[in-house]
Amino acid sequence: MLEVKNVDVSFRSERQTRIFGTDRTQVLHDISIKVDKGSCLGILGESGSGKSTLGRVMCGLLKPDRGEVYIQGKPVYESRAGKKQLQQSLSIVFQDYTTSANPRFRVRDILKEGIMAYERKLGKKVGQETEYEDLLKTVGLDSSFLMRYPHELSGGQLQRICIARAVACRPEIILFDEAISSLDAHTQVQVMDLLKELKEKLSLTYIFITHDLTSVTYICDNVMFLYKGRITEYLPVSRISESKDTYAKQLLNSIIVYEDEMTA
Ligand SMILES: Nc1ncnc2c1ncn2[C@@H]1O[C@H](COP(=O)(O)OP(=O)(O)O)[C@@H](O)[C@H]1O
Ligand SMILES: [Mg+2]
């Protein structure tokens, strides 16, 4: 359903090493991926490996230097129809829920952003007050949260609101970019359980970007290792330990070491 083909991305280098013209640093190298309908694809890599850049390309937010993204066979950057279709079928949940939710907005207004996106898609108003309650219920919260501000919620509760906002426009695909990374371990598990439940209930497809191997094994069906902007391994999570690729192994080890350091 969503396919990335031969994507290269480069950014202008901060240091000007040439007198004429500009130097560019290539951040993604020849990335091709297929996201199967109803699956959860993990994109795993250390910080700076290009995960968020790839996420932005997949969401239609960053045109690659080369290559294309296809939604149901339609090109996203080369055709308006493809871009529109992607916008209508994909929602995004970011890591930094504290900045992705406007601090001056009440929960109701945050949810309204998602509902309005759905109304634009439908071409008519939904306008029912029960919509808000239903959305809250979907993410395990009740209507007493509607008038609260983000600072009156815990990290886990606010991330649930961001998930509700993402679900409000009835997407087929949700992309999570380190969406649970800043939550404590216990809350991470609760939110991942919620995501699993929603995925079944709403027949969703997930793209789950993370630097955390444990969450990949908990929620993903397939995993793609990204190392310095290159895919080094792409396999089902059930076979993650069989990974042959040296970079993937290195990455697995470095992540495990990193986690040990974090808990030490
Ligand atoms: N808008 C940008 N301009 C210049 N460099 C960028 C930009 N966005 C990301 N980069 C660089 O691209 C590389 C990959 O970044 P990113 O995709 O954010 O990695 P990750 O999400 O895996 O941590 C990094 O070296 C980062 O500094
Ligand atoms: Mg990132």
CATH code at position 9: 3.40.50.300
Residue 101 identity: A
- pLDDT at 98 exceeding the cut of 80: no
Residue 224 identity: M
Atom of ligand 1 nearest to the CA of 178: 21
Name the average pLDDT for the chain. 89
Q: Which residue has the higher pLDDT, 95 or 175?
A: 175
Q: Domain residues for 214?
A: 2-263
CB 9 within 8 A of CB 147: no
Residue whose CA lies nearest to ligand 1 atom number 2: 11
Measured over the CA atoms of residue 37, residue 186, residue 134 and residue 61, the dihedral's sign is negative
Q: Convert the pLDDT of each residue in 68-92 to its tens digit.
A: 999 999 999 999 999 999 999 999 9
49 lines ligand 1 (CB under 6 A): yes
> How many CA atoms lie within 13 Å of 84's alpha carbon, on the beta-carbon side?
6
Measured over the CA atoms of residue 195, residue 215, residue 243 and residue 92, the dihedral's sign is positive
Residue range 161-177: average pLDDT? 94
Atom of ligand 1 nearest to the CA of 14: 4
Give the strands of the sheet with 90-94, arranged side by side: 90-94, 173-177, 205-210, 40-44, 222-227, 230-236
Q: What kind and span of H or E run contains 191?
A: helix 185-201
Residue whose CA lies nearest to ligand 1 atom number 25: 48
Alpha carbon of 20 to ligand 2 centroid (Å): 31
Residue range 243-248: average pLDDT? 75
**Number of structural domains, the chain?**
1
Phi, psi (deg, nearest 5) at residue 258: -60, -45
Token pair belonging to 171: 């997407």
- pLDDT at 182 exceeding the cut of 90: no
Q: Ligand 1, from 11, 47, 175: best to mutate by most atoms within 8 Å of Cβ?
A: 11
Neighbouring residues of the ion ligand 2, judged by CB less than 5 Å: 51-52
Phi, psi (deg, nearest 5) at residue 177: -105, 100
Alpha carbon of 29 to ligand 1 centroid (Å): 13
Q: Convert the pLDDT of each residue in 23-62 to its tens digit.
A: 889 999 999 999 999 999 999 998 999 999 999 999 999 9
167 lines ligand 1 (CB under 6 A): no
152 lines ligand 1 (CB under 6 A): no
Rounded Cα distance, 139 and 129, in Å: 17
Q: Name the closest ligand to CA 27.
A: 1
Measured over the CA atoms of residue 96, residue 102, residue 108 and residue 111, the dihedral's sign is negative
pTM for the full predicted model: 0.90
CB 25 within 8 A of CB 13: yes
229 lines ligand 1 (CB under 6 A): no
